[in-house]
């Protein structure tokens, strides 16, 4: 029985992924190559613990939860995937936390830190609500012509901006800017940026 289960798992791994398992469709890739989207990434993989928030010194990475070795490799792989897929990027901003800025730098080679991308994960905390309202306004702004804007932050904000779930580490929520705020399109996990 164990051999049958192992064989089934092996065959499942060898079969091509179903279309619904591949959110990066040919149509979406073609649209991303034209630009006009906001790609909100959660930072790459980290050790599983919470770092202090009050009195945080964002320049002191030693006092924060940072990218793991896997998270750094994940960020580099994201950057390679975007180059291979020829997806044009314009503005690249991140939360001031080191794990977010490092994800952006390792993936895309540059970053501007932005306090509005900071998050403490508390959905109803007044400071969090103010940041989300500010971020919603920022996400009304279209990207530079023929580029996509990249934000690298944390898992909570995309859900509060209209996404359908909290992001996994390295996952991106794709939005279109709109006059009333961002319009959620889909989410793509870090390992799903592959040629459709």
Domain 37-47+56-192, what fold? Rossmann fold (3.40.50)
The whole model's pTM is what? 0.86
Domain boundaries in the chain? 37-47+56-192
**pLDDT beneath 50: ranges in the chain:** 1-20
pLDDT for the residue numbered 53: 58
Reduced 3-state DSSP string for 25-79: CHHHHHHHHHCCCEEEEECCCCCCCCCCCCCCCCCCHHHCCCCCHHHHHHHHHHH
């Amino acid at each position: 029985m164990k051999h049958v289960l192992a064989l089934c798992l092996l065959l499942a791994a060898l079969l091509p992924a179903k279309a619904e398992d591949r959110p990066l469709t040919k149509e979406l890739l073609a649209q991303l190559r034209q630009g006009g989207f906001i790609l909100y990434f959660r930072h790459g993989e980290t050790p599983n613990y919470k770092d202090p928030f009050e009195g945080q010194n964002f320049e002191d990475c030693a006092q924060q939860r940072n990218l793991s070795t896997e998270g750094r490799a994940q960020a580099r792989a994201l950057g390679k995937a975007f180059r291979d897929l020829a997806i044009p990027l314009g503005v690249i901003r991140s939360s001031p936390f080191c794990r977010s800025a490092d994800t952006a730098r390792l993936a895309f080679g540059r970053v501007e830190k932005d306090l509005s991308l900071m998050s403490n994960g508390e959905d109803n905390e007044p400071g969090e609500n103010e940041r989300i309202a500010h971020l919603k306004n920022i996400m009304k702004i279209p990207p530079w012509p023929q580029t996509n804007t990249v934000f690298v932050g944390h898992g909570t904000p995309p859900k509060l901006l209209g996404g359908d779930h909290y992001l996994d580490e390295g996952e991106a929520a794709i939005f279109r800017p709109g006059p009333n705020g961002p319009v959620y399109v889909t989410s793509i996990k870090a390992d799903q940026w592959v040629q459709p």
